[in-house]
Chains A and B, each alone.
Chain A
Amino acid sequence: ETGVTQSPTHLIKTRGQQVTLRCSSQSGHNTVSWYQQALGQGPQFIFQYYREEENGRGNFPPRFSGLQFPNYSSELNVNALELDDSALYLCASSLGTGSSYNEQFFGPGTRLTVL
């Protein structure tokens, strides 16, 4: 059974650029959640995708957007990067029903640095 994988591991961008982060969910999982973890902080929920539809969103601006594909892998896109977007981005997959909690399994994260 393959766990949650994320790519790339590290990424350096400059302010104003756009970035795409990728997540492959664990085999059999249909739900992906994305979190932003700033240095020295706990993760903060960005949004969740369930069966290719957004199923909840945290307090993040619209320049944070996402996609989920038919194989349930997912992308997180961030436009117009700001310095404060520098963080570890975690994705977590689960076998969801769309209406109740199911255990989330986390990937190793992508470290994004914005200069």
Chain B
Amino acid sequence: AQTVTQSQPEMSVQEAETVTLSCTYDTSESDYYLFWYKQPPSRQMILVIRQEAYKQQNATENRFSVNFQKAAKSFSLKISDSQLGDAAMYFCAYIPVWGGSQGNLIFGKGTKLSVKP
């Protein structure tokens, strides 16, 4: 079975500092996507960053970057220069590229990030 595990229920970071959120996953597929989603108190799930498994280069989006280790099945999110607006629940998610239920994003349980001024 495909699973996504986030081992940090809560994290805290000082404003302007850097924080890393961890995620591991389990799959027998070779082609898949990995995502980090942000869910603020407004509840709307927002895509932060996406990684295609066939790409060795780690994805970056402004202050957000990932460390993708395919062999270790690890996918961490680094947030640099943290801002108060980064406070939210962060979910790691996985989906195979082909086959199965195409809508079937598999989410971890989430990490609640607090940002201290």
- Interface set of A (CB-CB < 8 Å, partner B): 31, 33, 35, 40-45, 47-48, 50, 55-58, 88, 90, 92, 94, 96, 98-101, 103-104, 106-109, 111
- Interface set of B (CB-CB < 8 Å, partner A): 4, 33, 42-47, 50, 91, 93, 95-98, 100-110
Query: Bound state CA distance, A47 and B108, in angstroms?
Result: 18
B6 to chain A: closest residue by CB: A42
B107→A55 contact, CB < 8 A? no
Query: Bound state CA distance, A91 and B106, in angstroms?
Result: 14
B102→A56 contact, CB < 8 A? yes
Query: Bound state CA distance, A47 and B102, in angstroms?
Result: 10
User: Chain A: interface secondary structure?
Assistant: strand
Partner of B101, one of A43, A56, A108: A56
B102→A106 contact, CB < 8 A? no
Query: Bound state CA distance, A42 and B4, in angstroms?
Result: 10
B105 to chain A, nearest CB (A): 7
A99→B101 contact, CB < 8 A? no
A41→B109 contact, CB < 8 A? yes
Q: Chain A contacts of B98 at CB under 8 A?
A: 99-100
B46 to chain A: closest residue by CB: A106
Query: Bound state CA distance, A44 and B47, in angstroms?
Result: 17
B32 to chain A: closest residue by CB: A101
B33 to chain A: closest residue by CB: A101
